[in-house]
Structure 1
Amino acid sequence: MKKFLKVMLVCVMVLFAFTLVFGTSKKDEKEGIVIGFSNASVSNSWRVFMVANYEHEVTLHPEIAASYYTDADDKPEKQIADVDDLLVKGIDVLIISPAVQDAVNPAVEKAFDMGIPVIVFDRKVTTDKYTTFIETSNYEMGKAQGEWLAKELNGKGKIVAFSGVAGSGPAEDRWKGAQDAFSKYPGIEILGQQYTDWSPPKAKGVMEAFIQQFSQIDGIWADSGLMSWPALEALKEAGRPLVPSTGEQLNAYAKFVVKNNLRGFIYPFPAWMSRIAVQYAIKAAQGEKLPKYIEIPVDPIGPDEIADYVQMDKSDFWWVGDDQMPEEFLPSFD
């Protein structure tokens, strides 16, 4: 998986290099908007799809003269340095998906204080010095997943929980939402909760440890299919009962649920929100006043709808609904 993601990152950077060179020539002519995109990472396939959507959206706007892209490898200190580099390049607007929600505040505040619009999306920051924040509500996502699982278990059962990157907005907000949902069901016992970085191998290893530790597991709350899918695989390999679970639009999760006739719940977190970030970055650079918060609504996919939702002919690492772009922009998962 790591090798694949590194290859994908190289492809993304080559494509962005072309855009950058083309854009720089236009900027020299004092034309167009220069965007800087500081990305937390492409550490999982959702983020690969997110960058692909961003890249395609940029090509649709002739008013964009150049697009500079950086990847922080999920390291806050690198992301701060990345933003500094983007500011030196003379960007007109900063788009940022923060590695964590507080440590990159200084970089966001620096750009904002310089009068540069800052479009935060996907993951939040804890400063208020930004122009707008775009997300599908992570809190509501975690809460809806928790509510569904509790009701699926008739308000009683032993569950294990999986979160993404500790300290990141999505992981913390989703878990807070889930906890608030579970608090209404005293019969729900949380056996353990672990941060597994949205990494299938890490999630599978943690689930294997849970299986050794607990003789009864009735449900899996995971804020992403990147973790519920391998957790279910671990249960199956151990010969344990397969249980209700939650996730989002990762194809592997949907496939596993359908193939094994399981009860699952999908709450999409669209990778195409990067497109919305580009659109609002243009508005901000042109001087339009933006709302402080923009929520992208989604429709959850219940257990009876997953069979019609899944794309059985696509890769496990495909993200259903995030592939609305020409083929040359689509990630390859061969």
Structure 2
Amino acid sequence: MTVPSPISRRLALSAAVTCLGLCATLLGAGGAEAAANCIKGDRKAPYTVGWANIYSVPTWMKQTEGTITAEVEALKKDGRVKDLMVTDAQGNAQTQIQQIQSMIDANVDAIVVIAGSSTALDRVISDACDKGIAVVNFDSLVDTDKVTAKINTDSNEWGSKAAQWMVDQLGGKGKIIIMNGPAGVSVSDDRRKGAQPVLDANKGLEVITETNTEYNVAPAQEAMTSLLFANPEIDGVLSLGGALSAGALLAFDRQGREPVPTTGENARQFLELWKEKGINGWATMQPNWLGALAVYTAVQALDGKPVPAFVKVPLPVIDDSTIDTYLARASEFPADGYIYSAYDKALFDKLLAQ
């Protein structure tokens, strides 16, 4: 019998260790998928889901909550969800922190959240993740990556496309007003950041002023009314969301001024005014069903299925060639609501397969 030398034994041992590591890796790849971020502990269906809303007054938020509750009801029928806990921070980030902490204390299985601040919620969101709670953040995002998933459209792309449309409409020259959502809300700030490179590249487009308002018609109309008094010459309104565009058009109309090219999103009132006044318009949307997708994503993660850390939802374009298809469904939505696109499980599965 030949006795292996010490060198041979060391080589054989090293090969065995390497093989064990590689085999484990291959088994892991071919067997159970790695758990999504934050998912740990013994959590079993049916799950309790928390919906940490920053504020519920705007119609966009009410419609979004409607998609969340509808998704929860569907998942209840499938035996995947037991309860939905809903909170409303009424626009106060500190209140939202306390409400998320109450969800953590109640040991909910998942928290879906629109952040009232991109930074203030980081600590409590991270704490939820550390405790094995699925955290899905959509629309207005937190800075921390200690979440199961973030879901959003590309807000920078939104601003860039809106600004480029305005450049094309005005031939690169003219005076414009920019209408933003609330300062400090990530989607609003990111849209504005996305527009800036286009504005920088087209110096003939002069931004005479800009404003920040809530995503509601009344404050937007009031803000635009003041700006119209102060600025007799306006060639375009670069509105970056919500009912801001409808408020702008109403202000023009009530002052007897001709409307100008205006950007916006899928607010029903804006689309109807666009058609009624025959303006040059462009819009996209932040689909309300992002809320339903957030719930679906959280449950998928809790079920042990892989979900991407970031789910990018493509931006649709609403222009003269597509506006009629949206208005054809207007009666299905509130008069002050948003005409959002259809969604189903197949769409959600496609988005999660990115």
Report the TM-score when normalising by structure 1: 0.84
Q: By how many angstroms is 1:34 displaced?
A: 1.4
Match of 1:147, as an amino acid?
Q
Identity among equivalent positions (%) equals 26
Shift of 1:315: 4.1
Deviation at 1:53, TM superposition (A): 0.4
**Residues 324 and 296 (structure 1 numbering): CA distance in 2 closer, same or farther, change over 3 Å?**
closer
Q: Tell me the residue number matched to 2:116.
A: 99
1:238-281 deviations in Å (ceiling 9; x for gaps): 12221000111111000000001111111111001111101110
Give the alignment partner of residue 222 of structure 1, picking from 239, 242, 255: 239
1:297: how far off?
A: 1.2
1:316 deviates by 2.8
1:287 maps onto 2:301 in alignment: no
State yes or no: 1:236 paired with 2:250. no
Q: Which residue of 2 aligns with 1:262?
A: 279
Pairwise CA distance, 1:191: 1.0
Deviation at 1:309, TM superposition (A): 2.4
Match of 2:141 among 118, 124, 142: 124
SS of residue paired to 2:251: helix
Q: Is the 2:148–2:298 Cα contact (8 Å) retained in structure 1?
A: no
Residue 47 (1) aligns with residue 54 (2): no
Partner of 2:104: 87
2:73 to 29, 40, 59: 59
Secondary structure at the residue paired with 1:60? helix
Moved more, 132-141 or 51-60: 132-141
The residue that corresponds to 2:317 in the other structure is 300
- Which of the numbers 336, 343, 351 marks the counterpart of 1:317? 336
1:120-140 Cα deviation digits (max 9, x unpaired):
111111112112100111111
Matching residue's letter, 2:194: G
Could you list the runs of 5+ residues in structure 2 that have no partner in the other structure? 1-43, 345-354
* CA shift in 2, pair 1:296/1:31, >3 Å: closer
Residue 157 (str. 1) matches residue 171 (str. 2): no
From the CA coordinates, give the structure whose radius of gyration is larger: 2
Q: What amino acid does structure 2 have at the position aligned with 1:317?
A: D
Give the RMSD, CA atoms, in angstroms: 1.7
Q: Hey, what's the Cα distance between the residues in 2 that align with 1:115 and 1:225? A: 35
Amino acid at match of 1:211: L
Shift of 1:155: 0.8
Deviations 1:107-155 (A, max 9, x none): 2111112222211111111112112100111111111111111111111
Q: Give 1:206 shift.
A: 1.2
Q: Does 1:246 align with 2:257?
A: no
- Counterpart of 1:232 in structure 2: which amino acid? L
Offset from partner CA, 1:186-224 (integer Å, 9 cap, x none): 111111111101121111111111111111000011112
CA distance in 1, matches of 2:98, 2:50: 13
Whole-angstrom CA distance in 1 between matches of 2:162 and 2:56: 25
**2:92 maps to which residue?**
75
Take 2:271 and 2:155, find their aligned partners in 1: how far apart are those partners? 20
TM-score w.r.t. the length of structure 2 is: 0.80
